[in-house]
Structure 1
């Protein structure tokens, strides 16, 4: 088990006409994820110029905590519910270097 903090920057682009649905599901996911063991923060953002674009900035105590989150019922449920409503879902896993 690595004890190094892991940061996630996730970019979610909703399909045309699906913005509010994706936004509502992301808000639900955010609320539940903040309670996950090892979650330091889970911040959901919506782009001011393109309201179909959402960015999630997350910090996890370690890789194990992130993996538990990724297999949690609420995360798996979010993926299943929104798979037809999301045009793009890009996740960047990062480590602090300075």
Structure 2
């Protein structure tokens, strides 16, 4: 069964551009990963510090592989101290 991920990232004040550019770097490489069905970055129209990923993966196992990928580690290093909050929701589509 496919897994939907909704991740909310809030940048600290003054760090919005850094966080945004680092998040944008994740998009093309992640879309090429095995099991990635959808990986879309959104930015809040009213709050420039708030970002959201909407993701769909073939399985939780393939998403876990993504979570341990080198490009995600590079993002974590590049944004250390720049992110105010991060919340992640693992979801299943209700039919």
Q: CA RMSD in A?
A: 0.8
- What is the DSSP-based 3-state SS (H/G/I as helix, E as strand, rest coil) of the residue aligned with 1:12? strand
Structure 1: runs of 5 or more not aligned: none
Mapped to 2, the partners of 1:83 and 1:90 lie a distance apart of: 16
Runs of 4+ in 1 over 3 A off after TM superposition: none
Task: Confirm whether residue 95 of structure 1 aligns to residue 95 of structure 2.
Answer: no
Partner of residue 52 from structure 2, selected from 55, 79, 82? 55
Show CA shifts across 1:17-54 (max 9, x none). 10000000000011211111100010000000001100
Post-superposition offset of 1:12: 0.3
Task: Confirm whether residue 10 of structure 1 aligns to residue 40 of structure 2.
Answer: no
- What is the DSSP-based 3-state SS (H/G/I as helix, E as strand, rest coil) of the residue aligned with 1:11? strand
Structure 2: runs of 5 or more not aligned: none
Mapped to 2, the partners of 1:85 and 1:31 lie a distance apart of: 22
How many correspondences in the alignment?
A: 95
Mapped to 1, the partners of 2:4 and 2:76 lie a distance apart of: 20
**TM-score when normalising by structure 2:** 0.96
Post-superposition offset of 1:76: 1.6
Post-superposition offset of 1:80: 2.1
Partner of residue 31 from structure 1, selected from 16, 28, 40? 28
Mapped to 2, the partners of 1:76 and 1:93 lie a distance apart of: 20
Corresponding residue number in structure 2 for 1:73 = 70
